[in-house]
Structure 1
Amino acid sequence: MKFLLSLSVLCITLALCQAACFIKLPKAEMRNGVLVPQTLCTDPYDGTQHLLGSKWNTAHCLECSCHSGEMTCCHRYGGIAIAPNGCDARVNPDTCQYEMYRIDNPSEPC
């Protein structure tokens, strides 16, 4: 029974800690019949270019990094927000943190 309880707690903890991530692979570019490695990553949201080895935050609450032309981005707020009864969890785009608001009055915080 203790094992089942420990396993349940571990699963809940992992679910709360994970963030959504994605990887954008580089596009192969040929010049004069030779494959040219990419030296930049292009942010898919605002089109800005970033050098290999760089790390940046986007306006969409993502933390991105560029390595070997491959771009990896993860949500900065991560995990799952559990709102109390009668409340709804929303991500504040300025702070990139979850905030709780009343379902019956979305302008009022819980």
Structure 2
Amino acid sequence: MKSLLCLTAMCIMLSVCSGFCFRDTLKMKTVDGKSVMPDECIDVFDESRHPIGSVWNSAECMRCSCGTDGMECCARYGGTATLQGCRGIVDPETCEHKFFEDDDPTKPCLSSAS
């Protein structure tokens, strides 16, 4: 239930903010009756496991890193990009802005034609 509440709060933050970071601290585990620090971080978006010292891109366009003090993720894109006569979207695979003509959303805008 606590995880669901945290995930809901993160989704609200993502919809309100154009660029942001968050941290998730590592929590002690009990192994054979002893408390031990985990040796990995668990991605809050897809629950994949990542060893301490690793850096990865999440499926939610976040750049995440795992350290001895926890996991930190930051949005890979910042702000909203605009191009006159075009509609901008963030490509979920590359996490980059792509532009399409307002009149024909299937036709890409040629922004670099100089």
Give the TM bin, normalised by the shorter chain: 0.5 to 0.7
Counterpart secondary structure, 1:59:
coil
Contact 2:100–2:108, Cα closer than 8 Å, also in 1: yes
Number of the residue aligned with 1:58: 58
Contact 1:26–1:69, Cα closer than 8 Å, also in 2: yes
Contact 1:19–1:79, Cα closer than 8 Å, also in 2: yes
CA-based RMSD: 2.3
- For 2:23 and 2:36, the matched residues in 1 are separated by 20
Moved over 4 A (4+): none
Number of the residue aligned with 1:49: 49
- For 2:45 and 2:54, the matched residues in 1 are separated by 17
TM-score by length of 2: 0.63
Written as runs of structure 1 = structure 2, the 5 A alignment for 1:1-110 is 19-31=19-31, 32=33, 34-76=34-76, 78-110=77-109
Following superposition, the deviation at residue 40 of structure 1 comes to 0.8
Measured at CA, do residues 57 and 73 of structure 1 come closer, stay the same or move farther in structure 2, by a change above 3 Å?
same
Which residues of structure 2 form unaligned runs of 5+?
1-17, 110-114
- For 2:38 and 2:45, the matched residues in 1 are separated by 19
Counterpart secondary structure, 1:22:
strand
- For 1:24 and 1:88, the matched residues in 2 are separated by 34
Following superposition, the deviation at residue 69 of structure 1 comes to 4.9
Which residues of structure 1 form unaligned runs of 5+?
1-17
- For 2:20 and 2:87, the matched residues in 1 are separated by 20
Number of the residue aligned with 1:12: none
Number of corresponding residues: 91
TM-score by length of 1: 0.65
Q: Deviations over 1:16-63 (max 9, x none)?
A: xx942221222333453x532121101122222111111112233222
- For 1:56 and 1:80, the matched residues in 2 are separated by 21
